[in-house]
Chains A and B, each alone.
Chain A
Amino acid sequence: MFLFEKAVVGSRRYWSWIGILLALILAGFLFYLRQLHYGLGITGLSRDVTWGLYIAQFTFLVGVAASAVMVVLPYYLHDHKAFGKITILGEFLAICAVTMCMLFVLVDMGQPMRVLNVLIYPTLNSIMFWDMVSLAGYLLLNAIIALVTLRAELKDMPPPEWIKPVIVVSIPWAVSIHTVTAFLYSGLPGRSFWLSALLAPRFLASAFSSGPALLILLTLAMRRLGKFDPGPQAIQKVSLIVTYAMIINVFFLLMELFTVFYSRIPEHMEHFDFLFAGSGGQTMLVPWMWASVLLAAASLVLLIVPRYRKNEKILAVTCGMVFLSIWIDKGLGLIVGGFVPSPLGAITRYVPTLPEMFITLAIWGVGFLMVTVFYKITLAVRESMEALGARWS
């Protein structure tokens, strides 16, 4: 089945990594069983902060999934050869990220066994229905594309012609998943923090910086651990994408801040006040938010100055900073900040509980496990090709 035989041979280091991930997944799964039995009261969520870590991870990871388009588009639409080796990595990353998204939505549901109600009673006016459609479609598209192109690579043949239109469709589809995810939030009348037409563009800009930053980190790791050759230009080209996207991301955030603070409409300012200064004695997110700002500012300097960007050691650190900055912004602040203060002005403390964190880690574990297996397969295919090539030459 789909080259999986290539993922079950590996070094001791490979298997200990897999073992760690499996242990993490098992621990989280046990906590999830507990949550199923006890209820979502096991989390730090409450009457006023009804979505937290799970939904925030979902939102962040939709961005990572969508960001595959940043390598797919230049490679397939503009025949940008530099991305020839890493495009498949982007597609696999998208598959893993979408799977994680679905798991995060599932663990957040109060009645997960009723999830199929969304299909039994399709509700066209609900953005959540469309989000499900777009995510499932995106998963399917990327699975087909990655499978077909990798198979072709294994046979040393160009991919079949019919896959081209599928790839073309996957490009706007990638944009759609993050746009629809932004619509989940930006169309709610009582939540002024999210009620901004800029939310979807901001989502895309932050996705197109954090996702490719992760791709650079993964590619560097693979080159080091598995002697993967991404080609001479790939990493530098992707870092340019990260740079532009990060500039646009910070620019959009500043636009938001201007409108909110120059208009001085209290219900729009209150959320930013809570996040960056704390209110009602609740300051739990303040250090995180400022860390995100500082990481963003520092990473911008390191990205924009060519000398730093071209140094791969510094670039690796920079990419880590970009990823962390945006993870804090979207994976913590964006969701919780929208709920505090509540529409009635309540300031509520939200701190994820231990079970909640373990369940979250387990889903990240699933993602990393999938990335590891898929990249291992890719590496094995490439290696066998090279071996073949060596024998023939």
Chain B
Amino acid sequence: MKIRRRTFLGIAGLSALAVAEQKILGRVAGQGRNEASPRATGSQTARWAMVIDLRACLEKEGCTDCIAACHKVHNVPDFRNAAHEVKWTWKEPFERAFPGQKSRYAGQALQGGPVLVLCNHCDKPPCVRVCPTKATWKRADGIVMMDWHRCIGCRYCIAACPYGSRSFNWLDPRPQIRDLKADFPTRSKGVVEKCNFCEERLAAGKPPACVEACPERALVFGDLEDPASRVRELLRSRYAIRRKPELGTEPEIYYLV
């Protein structure tokens, strides 16, 4: 086919117009989506957070449903070796999760009782501050993300995290995944990983896997920007603590005691 100069220019011009139009339309459509969201504040983005009811969490003794659900949907390897363990969420004795809150005379919930811990998705995350390649970053909605393809495995973020929430793949994790889920990426050896607040499920309009799995509904997930949300309601009506708030990292996981 022979294309004359004039025809070519015409097509090129039209294509450029089409691209520009798509961009403008896209932007308008994006705004429309935000306005259409049922949020009373009219704020542009959400600020995701989790509230954990420690007493409700203790109801079913030895329950690890949330952890199992999380590790299953995210292809978290099971190394069965404490040194090389990879974990996104797990339970710690109360005084380990809250070293500043030790009290000899506290009841069972606040002494020795298991506390579910995960990435705090800090508002001022030290891990993001130290990463030399921006392989970990904070999204506008507060989720601290990881790019497993960019991570160089220097483990500076692990040194920076005051909560021990990050795991390193000391060995190839793939052979250690028991039940491979095809819809979530696996990781390679030599990179850091951690809880992603189920951003892939949020994108599909679903709550985090741990929240869904909890039989006692002890985990509440929601948007702090929305004053009518359940998380805001709980934080208004009940006393909540956060892990190491004195460090100024502004954790967004709240614990009801």
A contacts, CB < 8 Å to B: 38-41, 45-48, 50-51, 105, 108-112, 114-115, 117-118, 120-121, 123, 125-129, 132, 184-185, 187-191, 267, 338-339, 342-346, 348
Contact = CB atoms under 8 A, between A and B. Distances in A.
Interface in B177-205: 188-192
Given A108-B154, A121-B150, A189-B248, A342 B164 contact: yes
A234 to B, nearest CB: 40
Nearest to A266: B99
* Chain B interface size range: 35 or more
Interface of B: 82-85, 92, 95-97, 99, 126, 129-135, 150-156, 158-164, 167-172, 188-192, 244, 247-249
Dominant SS at the A interface?
A: loop
A111 B153 CA distance: 5
Contacts of B171: 38-39, 41
Which 7 A-B pairs give the minimum distances between C-beta atoms? Answer: A110-B153, A190-B162, A110-B190, A41-B170, A46-B83, A128-B132, A41-B171
Contacts of B154: 105, 108-110, 128
B133 A117 contact: yes
Given A114-B152, A117-B150, A343 B248 contact: no
Contacts of A343: 161-164, 244
Contacts of B156: 126, 128, 184
Contacts of B92: 344
A188 B159 CA distance: 7
Contact of B151 (A111, A125, A348): A111
Nearest to B170: A41
Given A46-B84, A47-B167, A132 B249 contact: no
Contacts of B99: 267, 344-345
Given A47-B84, A48-B164, A39 B190 contact: yes
B96 A345 contact: yes
A38 B84 CA distance: 13
A108 to B, nearest CB: 7
Nearest to A117: B133
A123 B137 CA distance: 11
B152 A126 contact: no
A110 B248 contact: no
17 contacts: A40-B168, A40-B190, A41-B171, A47-B84, A50-B155, A110-B168, A111-B153, A125-B129, A126-B129, A126-B131, A126-B156, A189-B162, A189-B249, A343-B163, A343-B244, A344-B92, A344-B164
Given A109-B152, A189-B126, A47 B133 contact: no
B97 A344 contact: yes
Contacts of A338: 159
A126 to B, nearest CB: 4
A273 B164 CA distance: 21
Contacts of A188: 126, 130, 159-160, 162
A184 B154 CA distance: 12
A121 B132 CA distance: 8
A38 B126 CA distance: 30
Contact of A109 (B84, B150, B190): B190
Given A110-B190, A344-B92, A51 B130 contact: no
A364 B163 CA distance: 35
Nearest to A120: B133
Contacts of A41: 84, 170-171, 189
A258 B85 CA distance: 37
Contact of A190 (B85, B131, B163): B163
A168 B85 CA distance: 49
Contacts of A39: 169-172, 189-190
A182 B131 CA distance: 16
Contact of A111 (B129, B152, B159, B172): B152
Nearest to B100: A267
Nearest to B96: A344
Given A123-B132, A184-B156, A345-B96, 5 more contacts: A40-B189, A41-B171, A41-B189, A126-B129, A189-B126
Nearest to A46: B83
A242 B154 CA distance: 33
Contacts of A187: 130
A126 B130 contact: yes
Contacts of B170: 39-41, 45-46
Contacts of B132: 117-118, 123, 126, 128-129, 132
B153 A47 contact: no
A118 B156 CA distance: 13
Contacts of B248: 189
Given A50-B158, A111-B190, A343-B162, A118 B129 contact: no
B84 A128 contact: no
A39 B96 CA distance: 30
A117 B189 contact: no
Contacts of B126: 188-190
Contacts of A38: 171
B54 to A, nearest CB: 17
Contacts of A120: 133
Contacts of B85: 47
A118 B83 CA distance: 28
B83 A189 contact: no
Given A39-B169, A189-B247, A344-B92, A50 B134 contact: no
